[in-house]
Amino acid sequence: MMNFFIERFLGGKQGAVAIGILALLILVIFPLALDLFRLNLVGKYLTFAFAAVGLVLLWGYGGILSLGQGVFFGLGGYAMAMFLKLEASDPESTAIQTTPGIPDFMDWNQLYELPWFWVPFESFTFTLLAILVLPALFAYIIGVAMFKRRVGGVYFAIITQVIAVILTVLIVGQQGFTGGINGITDLRTLNGWDIRTDSAKYILYFINALLLLAVIMISRFVLTSKFGRLLLAMKDKEDRVRFSGYDVSNFKIFIFCLSAVISAIGGAMFTLQVGFMSPSLLGVVPSIEMVIFAAVGGRMSLIGVVYGTLLINFGKTGFSETFPELWLFFMGGLFIAVVMFFPNGLAGIYNKYVSKLAFLQRYLPAIKLPKSKADTQSNASSSASTSDNAAEGAKS
């Protein structure tokens, strides 16, 4: 039983060490070393890591690049924000409005009653369900429409990007229903528990970190299952898997839905920790930034992307505080460099160089494994990821 857990949820001994180090870092070192403001920032970054973990499943292993991951992050975030906003807009605190009891931005936009799709979000149970089910449902609809018709590769990327544009324009345009460009702000309590206090911020940070670790373990479980191997096979030679009698489109739909749900959990945690949700977190740019996190961390590494997300976001905050002009140069250059020279990101660099250092092998026997499973997998697929559809088309 213990062995099963280590092999399937942690990814073998090496995976267990890696996830242990990550847990140590985000559960012990960060809370001890950082003040609350910085810790809250780290918490915010870690919510983006959910989306990046989703992209490892979808893009790294499934070979499906979605440029609309922010859509699902936003769906989760908005669902949570709608619940919190309704709770913050009780009739007493909104008594000065024309219609007390509805969110303030609705009042400003001459709405006199709560729109029907806001009503269910008064229930906390419904909200929690919605955070998990809505993104899955939405991803399912898109997935069925796309993958059943064998739309893939570049087309899928562009269409998901257009969906991100549509959702952003819709939210910004329908100010009365959605809060517009400012988003849903001024959130206060969760079932009567004030989320703005220091203690609440600590608690939310730990919930978020534990959820992230849980999501990584579940993802590892999925990837080490037979399904995970099929997913990788599908990415490398889709037709061969199809001709072996598997329904490829259903696999793709499933992994798309799973990554959507994971992103949505991140979005909901973002709302809770940061205290607002706005269209600036679900458009084209944030969606591509999530891809950047995954690419820099290593698109094949569930743990690497967490470090990638943290690194990029620390860099972004640091750079934009000191040299705001250089940030985009740096980001663009980093992105080009990662894609061209380190397709497996930080995790690839680690596997290639750091894990081979002799002194580490002497002092940390756990790391001393001949060649880890993840490493061989990522090598195998980096050579095989060259066989994307368009390249095939050009060759044939």
Partner 1 sequence: MGDFTFQELTSILAMQGFVGISLFSVLLLMALGLAIIFGQMGVINMAHGEFMALGAYTTYMLSMFTRTHYPELMPYYFFFAIIASFLVAGIVGYLTEFALIRHLYKRPLDTLLATWGLSLIMQQMFRTFFGSREVSPALPDWLMGSWMPTDSIFIPINGMFVLGLTTVVTFAVYYLMYRSSWGLNVRATTQNRVMSGAVGINTKQVDRLTFALGCGIAGIAGAAFTTIASTGPTTGSLYIVDTFMVVVFGGAASLFGTIASAFTIAQAQSILEFFISSSMAKVLTLLTLIIILMIRPEGLFASKVRK
Residue with tokens 């996830």: 19
- For the bound state, the minimum distance from the C-beta of residue 238 to partner 1, rounded and expressed in Å, comes to 13
Whose Cβ is closer to partner 1: residue 362's or residue 395's?
395
Whose Cβ is closer to partner 1: residue 172's or residue 190's?
172
- For the bound state, the minimum distance from the C-beta of residue 71 to partner 1, rounded and expressed in Å, comes to 13
Binding of partner 1 by 311 (CB under 8 A): no
Binding of partner 1 by 390 (CB under 8 A): yes
CA distance 75 to 287: 13
Is residue 127 within 8 Å of 272, Cβ to Cβ? no
Residue with tokens 């090496």: 14
Binding of partner 1 by 300 (CB under 8 A): no
| Binder among 29, 336, 357, 380 for partner 1 (CB under 8 A) | 336
**Residues comprising the chain, all counted:** 396
CA distance 274 to 44: 7
Tell which positions 59-88 bind partner 1, by CB under 8 A. Answer: 65
Q: For residue 130, what are its two tokens?
A: 């919605």
Residue closest to 352 by CA, chosen among 293, 290, 292, 300: 300
- For the bound state, the minimum distance from the C-beta of residue 330 to partner 1, rounded and expressed in Å, comes to 9
| Binder among 91, 115, 318, 332 for partner 1 (CB under 8 A) | 332
337-373 burial code (b ≥16 CB/10 A, e <16):
ebeeebbbbbbbbbbeeebeeeeeeeeeeebeeeebe
Tell which positions 114-173 bind partner 1, by CB under 8 A. Answer: 145-146, 149-151, 153-155, 157-159, 161-163, 165-166, 169-170, 172-173
Whose Cβ is closer to partner 1: residue 185's or residue 389's?
389
Region of residue 317 (phi > 0: left; psi between -120 and 50: alpha; otherwise: beta): alpha
Contact footprint for partner 1 (CB under 8 A):
65, 145-146, 149-151, 153-155, 157-159, 161-163, 165-166, 169-170, 172-173, 284, 288, 291-292, 295, 325, 328-329, 331-336, 339-340, 343, 385-386, 388-396
